A and B are shown apart, each in its own frame.
Chain A
Amino acid sequence: MGNFIGKSVKRKEDVRFLTGKGRYTDDIKLPGMTHAAFVRSPYAHAKILNIDTSAALRAEGVVAIFTGSDECGNYGVPCGWQVNFKNGETMREPQQPLLAKGKVRYVGEAVAIVIAETLEQARDAAELVEVDYEELPAVTNPKEAMQDGAPLVHDQWPDNRAFDWCIGNDRAEVEKALASAHHVTELEYVNQRLAPNAIEPRSYIADYNVAEDKWTLYTSTQNPHLIRLLLCAFALGIPEHKVRVVSYDVGGGFGSKIFHYTQEALLTWVTKQIGRPVKWTADRSEAFLTDAHGRDHVVKAKMGFDKEGKIVALLADEYCAMGAYLSTFAPAIPTYLHGTLFQGLYTTPLIHLDVTAPFTHTVPVDAYRGAGRPEATYLLERLIETGAKEMGMDPADIRFKNFIPAFDGVNQPGYQTQVALQYDSGNYAPVLKRALEMVDYENFRKEQAEARKQGKLLGIGISTYIEACGIAPSAVVGALGARAGLYEVGEVRVQPTGKVSIYTGSHAHGQGHETTFAQIVADKLGISIEDVEIIHGDSEQSAFGMGTYGSRSLAVGGSAIVKSIEKVLEKGAKIAAHKLEAAVEDLEYADGKWTVKGTDKSISFGDVALTAYVPHDYPEGVEPGLDFSSFYDPVNFTYPFGAHIAVVEVCPDTGKVTLKRFVTCDDVGNVINPMIVDGQVHGGVVQGIGQALLEGVVYDENGQMVSGSYMDYAMPRADDVPMIETDRTVTPCPHNPLGVKGAGEAGTIGATPAVVNAVVDALWHLGVRDIAMPLTPARVWAAMQGKS
């Protein structure tokens, strides 16, 4: 069929976003609604000696105040992924309390909640809550957290280790291969902590209806059904069928809105206590302090090569911060979403990663766009690039030498990695070839040499990546510790008039699902895109769902919709056959109608739909209605890949890096809407550039966050970024009906090492081998002075 798949259809949802008509949680005002403000810890680690709420309770407009000593202090939010220690013991899992009890463990941890008639009153009263603390020493760096004598985050365990973990081949074997390698490249670095910075801060409204004994939670989440499950079954122990979770429009998440936050559970508890709705919306300071952060790995890694530049072994040791508590997916990020990508695009025969994941006196660390995979790509791409340069080889050539040969996953089997995963399909050389062509790599080296003569420092950096998306086959992730399935649900309700409503368990917070999914439906049914409506974000509308993260919506959510459409067409054919007095086998479906092959006898989709709902003249044994729901559980992850190349100029006087060009050739499988994919790549690349050059959460020695505002935390701006040049190759996914692989995180995964490689390339002749991210002018200049 196909009037829509592959077309850059303009985003349907943009009309409401661009005209200020979105429905964000904070826009919702319920009758009788109260407002919450939090009293937060000013210390990274302290005993709570006393909390005096008496003055605050007397303040104007105060409805209630709760602390960890109240019943809510007995509840905590669960972790959704269990990782076991190398020795098989279960990870250490502290309760993440709804309000701190006895101790605070990071700056910004909530100590009390103040509910008042207005937000202003809540804020004012919160200042009147007096908390006596005894400050204790804190540790925020994951490596330091594992040193002897480091302050303990949780006193019940003898050290800060939440778990340790390893993957790959036998460590001794890998070490042996490194010992006999022709060349070994070694890097020690920090993959720094990042704040997610979604434009809409987290916002929740909980509303308990006494008459129905029912809760509604409006929440800025990426996965309303999962929040309902965690909230009901694990956090509060309330009946799931009595809770509706609504998440209409959400202004970005980048992972930070996947997780079940304590405030969601606390507000749900509070609303029943006070018998009124209660709202809380984070301000930007609270977002910096309390949104789960990303990255924070302290890394030591070695890559061994033979004479020809073939990788013979890869070994890494990482300290990966968990923060003070285990956030929903936290244990999975530096393990199953990280170590499993250490094969990269290369044929490396021996791989081993050891991870130590300590608690730290910081806000929890969890998935942030890319989630484990940018960290893996950074490690691989910095090592192979550095190795090439150290051996005097061309960084592009060494990659071509090491690429896994092409396989389509149909005629050739998938590629079994050394780190558990089996890649679905891949053809890696063409993406790098194309990116090199786009950037005119051959001429660049001449240009660089010429520029250097004039005192200009130009550099080029390559990054090739693979990621595991389309998260995920339930049985596989279950075996790896996930406490949920990761299928998706797609329901197609055909209305009597032939208009179509789609209820998806995927959740859009900027991705454009209302357009992409509508394109699929309109395309497959041969109807107009205006006749399709995509509904998401309400647990009482969509039957179930696992939400959106891990570039999964199209590959998993889209496939669920396709399954339901197939069922609609199958049933529709029976009705059509009856009406046309023909056999089902004699019909064909095209352009929105069933036709008896070789005749002009046909019936439209709309007429069949009407017949299904007005079944006066109807096939025997067929139920009325045209309405199907499907669960799609993928058989494998999907494996998009690509090549990114950055060209930079470094100011010899100040060390300031200017990005001159940024080129990508990605392969995300089949593409439904090229414009949306380009947009995803652009946004992701800019976030990747942000990590390379600008962003970083900084805690001081007392655990105070010194980068907790936009005056101190540098986000990339339009003028920091050149026009991003994108292209694609297409290697379809062999195991889902759309052949799609996912595009949401590719940019972030590929971009960061490309930029750092480019800066190091510009300065290699000065002896610079590595610079810590973010590559601030001060750090680049220091490196140029031999001080890195």
Chain B
Amino acid sequence: MIPAKFDYVRAGSVSEAIALLDKYGDEAKLLSGGHSLIPAMKLRLNRPAVLIDIGHLSELKSITEEGDEVVVGANCTHKQIATSELIASQASVLAEAARTIGDVQVRNRGTIGGSLAHADPAADYPAALLAAEAQIEVEGKNGRRKIPAADFFQGMYTTALADDEVVVAVRLPKGSQGTYEKFFQPASRFAIVGVAVVKRNGGVQVGITGASDTPYRATAVEQAYAEKGVDAAELAAEGVDMMEDHFADAAYRAHLAKVLTRKALA
């Protein structure tokens, strides 16, 4: 449980972090809460030469309103998100997901930006962000851009982030009230399957994590909902390859996706 040697740099600002990322390239990793990165480093599964610490940057720690959006800074902890009044009233689906992450210690340290950049296929936030049609705001040497959640998650531990980019915020449309139904993997307490549903304008938006190697929008469910109501949940795994492990085979994951979607739609 001792990481390989690494250098540590504390970035003074987001732009300094970007400059450092540019300088060190793929030898560097950003450190925020460190709750995914540090365990992987201790097992030497991940061995960055340089850690660029952005965890203390207060510019990324706020939760604010901007027009029709709720803007959640990348350094916000899961605890902050789970207990924010603004999120509770305008983007509750995110708080619902945050509440199920890890344990108290993890929620006190882990951050949304770190979790999203890590892109564990069983992480909780992706389901909520997909359901909310959130955007992930990132900044790189070429400036800022907003990436729709549906484009951000590209595979297991793979995102649309460029090497020099930092997640700075998550933008959720106001009115992203919804639910998150999670079936816990008993060892890791990640999601075997997690389903987030946001109901908006009479329709439903459904995000599913854990089931497949990439979190996905259950579009078949969304399209059938008007006609079938909660029975549309039967389409939750339609056309998606399910993951398998010793806790759950593909058939069971597909079944859970349907059960949890039905529960979340109800």
Judge: A and B partners, yes or no.
yes
> Which residue of A has the minimal Cβ distance to B256?
A654
Contact B246 A707 (CB under 8 A): yes
Docked-complex contact B4 and A778, CB < 8 angstroms: no
- Report chain B residues within 8 Å CB of A123: 2
Q: How far is the CB of A56 from chain B (nearest CB, A)?
A: 14
Known interface pairs A284-B1, A778-B252; A711-B188 also in contact (CB < 8 Å): yes
Known: A711-B188, A712-B187. A776 touches B2 (CB 8 A): no
In the complex, the answer to whether A778 meets B249 with C-beta atoms within 8 Å is: yes
Task: Assess A781 versus B252: contact at CB under 8 Å? Given A654-B183, A711-B188, A715-B187.
Answer: yes
Are A124 and B5 in contact, CB atoms less than 8 angstroms apart? Answer: yes
Partner of B188, one of A120, A698, A712, A778: A712
Are A782 and B252 in contact (CB-based, < 8 A)?
yes
A72 → chain B closest CB, angstroms:
25
B187 near A714 with CB under 8 A, answer yes
Question: Do the beta carbons of A653 and B1 come within 8 Å of each other?
Answer: no
List A residues 706-724 near B (Cβ within 8 Å): 706-707, 709-715, 720
Instruction: Tell whether A120 pairs with B252 under 8 Å between CB atoms, given A707-B246, A712-B188.
Output: no
Question: Does residue A696 face the partner (Cβ distance < 8 Å to B)?
Answer: yes
Q: Which residues of B contact A127 (CB under 8 A)?
A: 4, 44
Closest B residue to A283 by beta carbon equals B1
Is A654 within 8 A of B1, CB to CB? no
Name A700's closest neighbour in chain B (CB-CB): B246
Contact residues, B246-266 vs A (CB, 8 A): 246-249, 251-252, 255-256, 259
User: Is B49 on the interface with A (CB-CB < 8 A)?
Assistant: no
In the complex, are the beta carbons of A653 and B249 less than 8 A apart? no
- Interface size counted on chain A using CB atoms at 8 A: 29
Contacts of B246 in A (CB 8 A): 696, 698, 706-707, 712
Distance from B50 Cβ to chain A, minimum over Cβ atoms (Å): 17
Pair A778/B2 contact, Cβ less than 8 Å: no
Q: Does B186 contact A (CB under 8 A)?
A: yes
Closest B residue, CB atoms, query A285: B43
Hey, which chain A residues are within 8 Å of B185, CB to CB? 714
Q: Which residue of B lies closest to A653 (CB)?
A: B259
Chain B residues with CB under 8 A of A707:
246
In Å, the complex CA distance between A777 and B186 comes to 10
From A119, A654, A720, A777, give the contact of B2 (CB < 8 A): A119
Considering the complex, give the chain A residue whose CB is closest to the CB of B42. A283
A694 touches B186 (CB 8 A): yes
Whether the pair B252, A710 counts as a contact (CB closer than 8 A) is no
Q: 1/0 per residue B1-31: CB within 8 Å of A?
A: 1101100000000000000000000000000
> Quick one: closest A residue to B263, CB to CB?
A653
> In the bound complex, how far is the Cα of B183 from the Cα of A123, in angstroms?
38
Assembled-state Cα–Cα distance A782/B251 (Å)? 9
In the complex formed, the residue of A with least CB distance to B186 is A714
Q: Which residues on the A side are within 8 Å of B2 (C-beta)?
A: 119-120, 123
**Residues 83 to 141 of chain A near chain B (Cβ within 8 Å):** 119-120, 123-124, 127
Q: Roughly how many angstroms separate A387 CA and B5 CA in the complex, as a whole number?
A: 61
Least Cβ distance of B24 to chain A in Å?
A: 21
CB-CB under 8 A from B249, the residues of chain A are 778, 782
CA distance A715 to B185 in the complex (A): 11
| A653 and B187 alpha carbons, distance in the complex (Å) | 21
B187: A residues at CB distance < 8 A: 694, 710-715
CA distance A706 to B246 in the complex (A): 8
Chain B residues contacting A709 (CB-CB under 8 Å) are 43
CB-CB under 8 A from B247, the residues of chain A are 714, 776, 778
Roughly how many angstroms separate A711 CA and B186 CA in the complex, as a whole number?
A: 9
Q: Report the minimum CB–CB distance from A788 to chain B (whole Å).
A: 13
B145 to chain A, nearest CB (A): 33
- Binary contact track A627-663/B, C-beta < 8 Å → 1, others 0: 0000000000000000000000000011010000000
Of chain B, the residue at the smallest CB distance from A652 is B259
B168 nearest CB across to chain A (Å): 29
- A781 touching B1 by the CB < 8 A rule? no
Q: Which residue of A lies closest to B260 (CB)?
A: A654
Given contacts A120-B2, A778-B252, contact A654 B259 (CB under 8 A): yes
With A706-B246, A710-B187 known, 19 other A-B pairs at CB within 8 A are: A120-B2, A285-B1, A285-B43, A654-B256, A654-B259, A694-B187, A698-B246, A707-B246, A709-B43, A710-B188, A711-B187, A714-B186, A714-B187, A720-B186, A776-B186, A776-B247, A777-B183, A777-B248, A778-B247
Interface pairs (16), CB distance under 8 Å? A120-B2, A123-B2, A124-B4, A127-B44, A285-B1, A653-B259, A654-B183, A694-B187, A711-B190, A712-B187, A714-B186, A714-B187, A776-B186, A778-B248, A781-B255, A782-B251
Pairs of residues from A and B, 3 with the lowest C-beta to C-beta distance, nearest first? A714-B187, A778-B252, A714-B186
Binding site for A on B (CB under 8 A): 1-2, 4-5, 43-44, 183, 185-188, 190, 245-249, 251-252, 255-256, 259
